[in-house]
Amino acid sequence: MSQKFQELIESERPVLIDFFAAWCQPCKVQSSVLNTVKEKVGEGARIVKIDVDQYPAIASQYGVRGVPTLAVFKKGELLYKESGVHDVNRLTHLLEQYI
């Protein structure tokens, strides 16, 4: 997964990574928000979910200490990272900055 993850974040278009856990209630809320964000930004950005329990090495590599944590990458560069539930407008605006 690590090699695949690296290829994913090297993308020319922004990639929003949602670090989540299946047992996390706020993560479920964040997931529905991300569905709406995806509708708004369309093909301009990619949204990918990473389960921290399945891929702890990736979560650790990027300093994920709590879930949900959202991170935006473009061309391999970490442009944004913050924990907590984000709303639709904030995430849409954030991604539009990098599209």
Partners of 71 in beta bridges: 17, 81
Specify the pLDDT at position 2.
82
Average pLDDT, the chain: 96
Mean pLDDT of 80-92: 97
Residues 9-43 as b or e (16 or more Cβ within 10 Å = b): beeeebbbbbbbbeebeebeebeebbeebbeebee
Q: What is the average pLDDT across 62-88?
A: 97
- Reply yes or no on whether the pLDDT at 62 is more than 80: yes
One of 3.40.50.300, 3.40.30.10, 3.30.160.20, 3.40.50.980 is the CATH number of 3-97, namely 3.40.30.10
Active site includes 93? Answer: no
Whether the pLDDT of residue 84 is over 80: the answer is: yes
Is 22 a catalytic site residue? no
Per-domain boundaries in the chain:
3-97
H/E stretch holding 51 reads: strand 46-51
Query: Which of the following is catalytic: 15, 17, 24, 71?
Result: 24
**Helix, strand, or coil (residue 68):** coil
| pLDDT level of residue 53 (50, 70, 90 thresholds) | very high
Q: What is the mean pLDDT of residues 51-66?
A: 96
